[in-house]
Structure 1
Amino acid sequence: MAEIQLKNISKRWGSFVGVDNFDLTIADREFLVLLGPSGCGKTTTMRMIAGLEEATEGEIHIGDRMVNDLDPKDRDVAMVFQSYGLYPHLNVYENIRFPLKVRKADPATHDERVRKAAEMVELTDFLHRKPAELSGGQRQRVALARAIVRKPSVFLMDEPLSNLDAKLRVSTRAQIKNLSHELQVTTVYVTHDQIEAMTLADRVVVMKAGVVQQVGTPTEIYDNPANTFVASFIGSPAMNLLDGEILNGTFTGKNVTVSGLNAPNGPVILGFRAEDATVSETPAGEIAAPLYTIELLGDATMLTVRAGGQLVSIKAHKELRAQIGDPVAFNVPAAICHLFDHETGGRLNRP
């Protein structure tokens, strides 16, 4: 068990900045997710914690040790990669056991530890198989078991579900969530998938171009995004963001009018979630436009219109039926609207 302190760490290659002044304390037993698009610096941050990349500046502490100068094998971390990294000539049992042999753990403990790790990821019946005889989800669970058997102070997981199909991602995600609860080990998890971040994390770090944009619980980041980048990255669908201007408390944009806003006059970006707007019973709603597309989701119906040159999504009740091109109108309560600076994209209010 270990707290991780990242003290103003940066990573540069010449003039290129991969990670810029990352400063954060990850609590003992916390599940922290690094979230962002490709190239944002999340994997580089994890690799610096692991010792696979050397920090250009700053200090990395795991537990009570500064580990900047320690080799990866001496940092007491276990990594699970996007590629499973299994040995094809070894069966599942020997793949899981391999870290114990390398670290010269007492051979008398190997069998019990391997079988316990295999049981935790539901692989007991597959210990005799080779990796080629396993599905993608089973291979990823072998990789998880191999990390578990080590009993490390820290788990580092780099997009472990990226190679799985949609159904396997859901079931394996649930397994990782349950393992995190059982093992109570500090975990840093890298992903570009905001659903993984929302469902797994105690806290989320949203990154862009090497810079931390926001740190918070999934609820905090979803309900109060710090800027338009976070707002557009978190949520499925992403938050609707509309350019316009506020005059005397009323936001006006193309096909959009929202009154009752507590904000100074001037250009702004107005944001709202698809589930926060409602279909208007009259044609004179606050957003009125022809229906661009309709998607039946089973539990709801997603309506999309084009307003102000942008696509705007609204989640309606599942019984609603309409045709593309039909006139539709929505109401957006002022109390749920997010307002962002037109120039910087930074938040101006808190709904």
Structure 2
Amino acid sequence: MASIRLNGITKRWGKVTGVSHFDLEVADQEFIVFLGPSGCGKTTTMRMIAGLEDPSDGDILIGDTRVNNLDPKDRDVAMVFQSYGLYPNLTVYENIRFPLKVRKVDPTTHDDRVRKAADMVELDNLLHRFPRELSGGQRQRVALARAIVREPNVFLMDEPLSNLDAKLRVSTRAKIKHLQHTLKTTTIYVTHDQIEAMTLADRVVVMNKGKLQQLGTPKQIYDTPANTFVASFIGSPAMNLLSGRIEQGHFVAGDARIPAGDIQNEGDITLGFRAEDVEVTLDNDATLVAPVYSVELLGDATLVTLNIDGTLVAAKASKDFEVEMDQQVGFRLAPESCHWFDAHTGHRIDG
């Protein structure tokens, strides 16, 4: 097993910077998820760890070994890609076995290791089939087994579930979580799906434009976002962000006037609040009052959206809550549910 350390990693292509001065320490056996939008640098960072890209600056250490100059095959990492990368002319058994043959592992151990890996991902009754005879979920499990059979120090997974349908993503996600717990292998997982990040990770690395935005447990990322980017990226729906200003201890936006608690900053500020932290009411003495812009039944809740001074803000009511479009509705916010951000930098302000 191995820890991973990235010291000031930077990746440039001419004048374009993909990753900028990136520092990270991944503990032995930890499950880290890189999360961010397309083009944020998460896959490039993973590829540098794997040795598929060379860093322009900085050091990569796996365990105590600096691996910058090591070939991918010498880093003892196994990758699972978005595309399954299976050999169509080989059976499932031979696809799983292939890394052992390439690395010249003792042939007498192959059968036991292949069957053990296949059993972990519930493929033991499909070993005779070819990839064309498998579903997408089964092919992804073959790719997982092929990584497991190597018994590497590090697993690197690049959006492995993105080609699966919603139901398969849920079941395969649970399987990956269980596998990592069973194998206790250091794992870095790349995704743009914040649900995958929140459900899988010990810690989440939120990235944007090649830079680290926040590093923390899923709970820390969700409860105390470091800036408006993280706040707007995490959550379903994302955190509401309402621009306004502080006047005489109150947040003011349009007709809304909300006590700002311990916030002392006079002037422009951004208020954030989660949809589930809001009480939806028909009373006109609520914190925010406006006609209903949209109402959506989600199944377990009803999502009610208002237009406040040109900004759409949403709240979750009970699934039995009924309201008509354009009907006057109020959102009631508790002070402890409010998040405050600098209007210019986007950084979190703690009162």
The TM tier, using the shorter chain, reads over 0.9
Q: Is the 8 A contact 1:158 1:190 kept in 2?
A: yes
Residue 254 of structure 1 and its aligned partner are, at CA, apart by 2.2
Q: Match of 2:184? A: 184
- For residues 165-203 of structure 1, give each alpha carbon's deviation from its aligned partner in whole angstroms, at most 9, with x where no partner exists: 111111111111111110100000000000000000000
Alignment-derived partner of residue 34 in structure 1: 34
C-alpha displacement of 1:322: 1.4
Contact 1:255 1:289 in 2 (8 A): no
In the alignment, which residue of structure 2 is the partner of 1:57?
57
Structure 2 counterpart SS, 1:20: strand
Displacement of 1:284 in angstroms is: 2.3
Percent of aligned pairs sharing the same letter:
65
Unpaired runs of 5+ residues, structure 1, are none
Counterpart CA distance in 2 for 1:255 and 1:94 is: 68
Partner of 2:127: 127
Q: 1:102: how far off?
A: 0.5
Residues 97-152 of structure 1 deviation map (CA, whole Å, 9 limit, x = unaligned): 10011111111111111111111111111111111111111111100000000000
> How much has 1:331 moved relative to structure 2?
0.4
Q: Quick one: distance in 2 between partners of 1:26 and 1:218? A: 15
The residue aligned with 1:344 is: 345
2:199 maps to which residue?
Answer: 199
The equivalent residue for 2:298 is: 297
- Which residue number in structure 2 is paired with residue 277 of structure 1? 278
In the TM superposition, 1:154-193 aligns within 5 A as 154-193=154-193
- For 1:29-88, what per-residue CA distance to the aligned partner results, in whole angstroms no more than 9, with x for missing partners? 000001100110000000000000001101100012110000000000000000000000
Question: Secondary structure of the residue that 1:18 maps to in structure 2?
Answer: strand
How big is the alpha-carbon RMSD for the aligned residues of Structure 1 and Structure 2? 0.9
2:114 maps to a residue whose letter is V
Q: Distance in 2 between matches of 1:114 and 1:249?
A: 66
Q: Where does 1:286-325 land on structure 2 (aligned, <5 Å)? A: 286-325=287-326
Q: Could you list the runs of 5+ residues in structure 2 that have no partner in the other structure?
A: none
User: Displacement, 1:334?
Assistant: 1.4
Instruction: Return the offset for 1:333.
Output: 1.0
Measure the CA separation in 1 of the matches of 2:22 and 2:261. 35
Moved over 6 A (4+): none
Q: In the alignment, is the contact (CA less than 8 A) between 2:95 and 2:142 conserved in 1?
A: yes
Q: Counterpart of 1:327? A: 328
Q: Bigger CA drift: 203-212 or 304-313? A: 304-313
Cα offset, 1:299, TM superposition: 1.4
When the two structures are aligned, how many residues end up with a matched partner? 350
2:241 counterpart residue number: 241
**Residues 1:109 and 2:92 are matched in the alignment:** no
**Deviation at 1:311?**
1.2
- Aligned partners of 1:251 and 1:261 also within 8 Å: no
Report how far residue 260 of structure 1 moved: 4.5
Q: Secondary structure at the match of 1:124?
A: coil
Rounded Cα–Cα distance in structure 2 between residues aligned with 1:108 and 1:64: 32
Cα distance in 2 between the residues matched to 1:74 and 1:55 = 17
What secondary structure sits across from 2:58 in the alignment? strand
Counterpart-to-counterpart distance in 2, 1:313 and 1:9: 39
Q: Which residue of 2 aligns with 1:140?
A: 140
Residue of structure 1 in register with 2:83 after alignment: 83
Per the TM alignment, residue 255 of structure 1 is displaced from its structure 2 partner at its CA by: 4.3
TM-score normalised by L of structure 2: 0.98
Greater CA drift, 318-327 or 36-45: 318-327
